[in-house]
Amino acid sequence: MTWFSIIVAGILTYFTRMTMIALVDREMLGDRIKAVLEYVPSAVFPAIIFPAIFINDYGSFVEMNDPKIFGAIVAIIVGYFSKNIIATIISGLISYWVLIFIFNF
Amino acid sequence: MLTKKQLFTQGMMDISPHMLSVIPFGIICGAIGVELGFDPYLVYAMSFIIFGGASQIVFLQLLSGGASSLVAVTSVGIINSRHLLYGAVLSEYLEKLSFIKKLLISYVVVDQGFAESNKFFKKNKTEQHLHYHLIGTGCTMWVCWQIATLSGIILGSFVPEELGLKFAIPLTFIAIVVQDLKKIDHVIVMITCGLSSLLFFDAPFKSYIIISPVIALFVASLILRLKK
């Protein structure tokens, strides 16, 4: 049963990837929709970022002094100025580790 | 004009920094699956059949928590429905491909690959074999994901949990959108999406992951109307 569910979940997931690329003709989308689609990265990724920072493993909000919030702010500043993905990730992780391991947050 | 090989390599290069967070996350995903008591073959098969990071963990957690298969499958479908948006954006650049190639390339469309290839496509619209960049990002992700989840399944969680490496995932996505903070319209769209995701976090089937982008895109369309 679990195997069957995985295959169905896999087919569903594949369809989410394939539908707009292979089945929908781009001309069916009007100019306005195309202009709105420019915003897709900004409209999708915060839905991954915000909960991962502000909500803990138990599904409740973190405190305002949570080390993840601090790490994210550092990563945003470093990323903004360095334009470097590795620097962004590393700076966020290190500032987070400094808080939890050295300052025992 | 860049060759297919150059484009493929460029795709690999553009996505590889993200492996810093993808690989630890993959290891954690593999290890959690086995810890939850699932057959290791089954846990690995998900990386191949579903190939979708967080949705794989959610699927196993739901099943082990006693949810029905229907709930678990629906959740995977909803979590991954964001790919519809990626596809709509990418279709502009993949229009000329044959149907079969479109079917094949679709399998490797992932968050970070979409983000990096889309950035590259916007800057290099005139290139002829653009899709090789997407194949480069997608295949790199695929290989790393298979190796990472497999290592987690075989070796267990050898990444110490205290390190909190799950935190690398939001950092990866911060790195993707951070340059758009220069544009006020994008900032508004991002904040709308982020706040909506917190507001709807408890909505059924993890649907916040698609509800908040839809709200944010609606706000984006309002912004476009005001700009005119």
CA separation, residue A95 to residues A57, A92, B24, B145, B161 (Å): 20, 5, 18, 26, 17
User: If DSSP codes are grouped into helix, strand and coil, which group holds residue A61?
Assistant: strand
> Does B195 fall in a domain?
yes
Q: What whole-number distance in Å separates Cα of residue B64 and Cα of residue A4?
A: 16
Which of B125, B167, B169, B208 is most worth mutating to test chain A (most A CB atoms within 10 A of its CB)?
A: B167
Summarised one tens digit per residue, pLDDT across range B177-191 is: 999 999 999 999 999
Q: How confident is the model at residue B158 (pLDDT cuts 50, 70, 90)?
A: confident
Q: What is the mean pLDDT of residues B78-100?
A: 96
Residue B103 is assigned to a structural domain of this protein: yes
CB proximity list for B157: less than 8 A, separation 6 or greater = B27, B28, B31, B32, B35
Q: Do B115 and B209 reside in the same domain of the chain? A: no
Does B73 share its domain with B132?
yes
Residues B101 and B210 in one domain: no
B189, B144: one domain? no
- Cβ-defined contact of B177 to A92 (cutoff 8 Å): no
Q: Is residue B11 located within the same domain as residue B101?
A: yes
Mean pLDDT score, B36-54? 95
Could you say which DSSP state residue A25 is in?
-
How far, in Å, CA of B117 to CA of B122, rounded?
9
With respect to residue B177, please indicate whether it lies within any of the assigned structural domains: no
Strand partners, A61: A55
pLDDT band at B122 (very low <50, low <70, confident <90, very high): very high
pLDDT band at A105 (very low <50, low <70, confident <90, very high): confident
pTM of the model: 0.95
B68 shares its domain with B139: yes
In sequence order, the 6+-apart residues with CB closer than 8 A to the CB of A104 are none
B90 belongs to a structural domain: yes
> From CA B28, how far away is CA B22, in angstroms rounded?
10
pLDDT at A27: 79
How many beta carbons lie within 10 A of that of residue A44, not counting itself? Answer: 31
pLDDT digits (tens, 9 = 90+) for B69-88: 999 999 999 999 999 999 99
Cβ of B63 within 8 Å of Cβ of A5? The answer is: yes
With a pLDDT cut of 90, the percent of chain B lying above it is: 93
Residue A24's pLDDT is 85
Is the pLDDT higher at B140 or at B127? B140
Asked if residue B162 is part of any domain, the answer here is yes
CB contact under 8 A, A41 and B178: no
Confidence (pLDDT) at B67: 94
The domain ranges of chain A are: 1-30, 39-105
Which of A1, A13, A51 is the closest to B55 by Cβ? A13
B163 and B201 both lie in a single domain: no
pLDDT at residue B228 above 80? no
Is B195 in contact with A46 (CB distance < 8 Å)? no
The whole-number average pLDDT for the span B124-143 is 96
Residue B19 has pLDDT above 90, yes or no: yes
Does one domain contain both B94 and B204?
A: no
Indicate whether B161 pLDDT > 90: no
pLDDT per residue as tens digits for the range A91-103:
999 999 999 999 8
Q: Is residue B23 included in any domain, yes or no? A: yes
Rounded Cα gap, residues A68 and A53, in angstroms: 6
Nearest residue in chain B measured CA to CA from A7? B49
For chain A, percent of residues with pLDDT exceeding 90: 81
Q: DSSP assignment of chain B, as one string?
A: ---HHHHHHHHHHHHGGGHHHHHHHHHHHHHHHHHTT--HHHHHHHHHHT--HHHHHHHHHHHHTT--HHHHHHHHHHHHTHHHHHHHHHHHHHTTS-HHHHHHHHTT--HHHHHHHHHHHHH-TT-S-THHHHHHHHHHHHHHHHHHHHHHHHH-S-S-GGG-GGGHHHHHHHHHHGGGGGSHHHHHHHHHHHHHHHHTTTSGGGTHHHHHHHHHHHHHHHHHHHH-
The predicted model gives B129-146 an average pLDDT of 98
Among A48, A56, A78, A88, the strongest candidate for a mutation testing the B interface, having the largest count of B CBs within 10 A, is A48
Q: CB neighbours of B68 closer than 8 A, spacing ≥ 6? A: none
Range of the domain at B205: 183-228
Q: Is the pLDDT of residue B89 over 80?
A: yes
- Cα(B199)–Cα(B157) distance, integer angstroms: 32
Are the beta carbons of B201 and A59 separated by less than 8 Å? yes
Asked if residue B76 belongs to a domain, the reply is yes
Q: B152-166, B179-193, B195-209: which range is least confident on average? A: B152-166
**pLDDT, tens digit (0-9, with 9 covering 90-100), for A39-78:** 999 999 999 999 999 999 888 999 989 999 999 999 999 9
Average pLDDT over residues B43-60: 96
Domain count, chain B: 2
- For A61, phi then psi, to 5°, come to -65, 145
Tens of pLDDT, residue by residue over B21-41, are 999 999 999 999 999 999 999
**Measured CA distances, B75 to A34, B46, B62 (Å):** 28, 14, 9
- Residue A55: phi and psi, rounded to 5, are -120, 130
Tokens standing for residue B9: 């390599």
Q: Are residues B88 and B198 in the same domain?
A: no
Residue B221, token pair as written in the block = 């369309």
